[in-house]
Chain A
Amino acid sequence: DQQVKQNSPSLSVQEGRISILNCDYTNSMFDYFLWYKKYPAEGPTFLISISSIKDKNEDGRFTVFLNKSAKHLSLHIVPSQPGDSAVYFCAASKGNQFYFGTGTSLTVIP
């Protein structure tokens, strides 16, 4: 059962514009939502997280928005830079369990 879904396998954005990556989940009991970034031949690295009791968390160019009623979260990157080109995984956690989406490959075009 796939509790976290990322329906867009890829996204291309011009440098300097906004990148919006989306994620949907099914379990309303998740405590936290996290985004990880993965470069080829490397493991995922933590990017940003948000508690289920908040609706927005910002860290520099990265902002995560949570819409609990829609069971949807999104990661905004602005302005996008070529170094942001990577696969982005959405994850949700409950207790000590983490559930990951299948990732969205972001390409930022110079």
Chain B
Amino acid sequence: DTAVSQTPKYLVTQMGNDKSIKCEQNLGHDTMYWYKQDSKKFLKIMFSYNNKELIINETVPNRFSPKSPDKAHLNLHINSLELGDSAVYFCASSQNAGPNEKLFFGSGTQLSVL
């Protein structure tokens, strides 16, 4: 039973395409996140939702749109993909939103834009 599962694991696509990454957690957590790990290995927050409400929206191009249909799911849709979007995208969840919360991560989605 994977606690935080994201699909697909690998995504190879052409520039200009639109793609989605799905994330689901079965931990009963209230808060979910999307992180991006770039080629320099920086792990940066993109978005965070608490009980389906957006609470963190970092400076991310508006081609990236998160959607949380319920608190167990946080999907990431990316329009008009660019070469610079190539990275590993991690979904994570935590019980609540707070500074001492443990984050539970999915195994990542390796996105390659050609």
Interface residues of A (CB under 8 A from B): 2, 31-32, 34, 36, 41-46, 49, 51, 89, 93-100, 102-103
Contacts and interface: CB of A to CB of B under 8 A. Distances in A.
Contact of A96 (B42, B92, B99): B99
A44 B105 contact: yes
B44 to A, nearest CB: 7
Interface residues of B, number: 27
A70 to B, nearest CB: 21
A94 B56 CA distance: 13
Interface in B13-55: 31, 35, 40-45, 48, 50, 55
B66 interface: no
Contacts, number: 63
25 contacts: A2-B42, A31-B99, A32-B100, A34-B102, A36-B103, A42-B107, A43-B4, A43-B104, A43-B107, A44-B43, A44-B103, A45-B105, A46-B104, A49-B102, A93-B100, A96-B31, A96-B55, A96-B98, A97-B45, A98-B45, A100-B35, A100-B42, A102-B42, A102-B43, A103-B41
B97 A31 contact: no
A42 B106 CA distance: 7
B99 A100 contact: no
A25 to B, nearest CB: 14
Contacts of B44: 100
Nearest to A95: B99
Given A41-B108, A45-B104, A46-B103, 17 more contacts: A32-B100, A36-B103, A43-B90, A43-B105, A44-B43, A45-B105, A89-B43, A93-B99, A94-B99, A95-B98, A95-B99, A96-B31, A96-B101, A98-B103, A100-B35, A100-B42, A102-B43
